[in-house]
A and B are shown apart, each in its own frame.
Chain A
Amino acid sequence: MANTTTAGGFLLVVAIVLPVAGVLVSLLLGGRRAERVAFVVMPAGLGVALAIATRIWRTHDVLQYFVGGWMPPLGVGFRADGLSAVMIVASALLVCGIGLFARAQFKTPPGSETRAPLMFWTLLLAIWAALNTVFVGSDLFNLYVGLELLTFAAVPLVSLDGRPETVAAALRYLLFALLGSLLYLLGAVLLYGAYGTLDIALLCRRIHAEPAAWAAISLMTAGLLAKAALYPFHLWLPPAHAGAPAPASAILSGLVVKAPFFLIIRLWFDVMPGMPERAAAQVLGILGAAAIVFGSIVALRQARLKLLIAYSTVAQIGYLFLLFPLAIRPETGHPWGTAAWTGGILQAVSHAFAKAAMFMAAGLIAEALGHDRIAGLAGAGRALPITVFAFALGGLSLMGLPPSGGFIAKAMLLTAAVAEGQWWWAPVILAGGLLAGGYVFLVLARAMGEPIEPLRLSAEVSRGRQAVVAAVALCAVLLGFVPLHPSDFLQIGRSVAATAGTR
Chain B
Amino acid sequence: MSAVTLYGFCSAALVGLGLYGLIVRPEPLRKVLAFNLIGGGVFLLLGVVARRGASAGLGGDPVPQALVITGLVVAFASTALAVALVLRLLRDTGETVPASDAGGEAPADGRK
Contact = CB atoms under 8 A, between A and B. Distances in A.
B74 interface: yes
A171 B85 contact: yes
B64 A189 contact: yes
A172 interface: yes
Interface string B34-61: 0100110110011011001100000000
A63 interface: no
Interface residues of A, number: 40
Contacts of B98: 164-165, 168, 171-172
A141 interface: yes
A175 B112 contact: no
Interface residues of B, number: 42
A420 interface: no
A150 to B, nearest CB: 12
Given A152-B77, A192-B63, A171 B89 contact: yes
Contact of A175 (B31, B48, B93, B104): B31
Nearest to A238: B105
A162 B48 CA distance: 43
Contact of A186 (B32, B45, B64, B74): B45
Contacts of B17: none
A193 B28 CA distance: 32
Interface string A280-309: 000000000000000000000111100100
A239 interface: yes
Interface in B71-105: 71, 74, 77-78, 81-82, 85-86, 88-89, 92-93, 98-101, 104-105
Contacts of A192: 49, 63-64, 67
- Determine the main DSSP class of A at the interface with B: helix
Contact of B78 (A152, A172, A302): A152
Nearest to A173: B85
A144 B67 CA distance: 11
Contact of B100 (A168, A175, A186, A301): A168
Contact of A182 (B42, B63, B67): B42
Contact of B35 (A155, A182, A301): A182
Nearest to A191: B49
A196 interface: yes
A164 B74 CA distance: 26
Nearest to B46: A189
Interface of B: 15, 22, 28, 31-32, 35, 38-39, 41-42, 45-46, 48-49, 52-53, 63-64, 67, 70-71, 74, 77-78, 81-82, 85-86, 88-89, 92-93, 98-101, 104-105, 108-109, 111-112
Interface of A: 73, 141, 144-145, 148, 151-152, 155-156, 159, 162, 164-165, 167-172, 174-175, 178-179, 182, 185-186, 189-190, 192-193, 196, 235, 238-239, 242, 301-304, 307
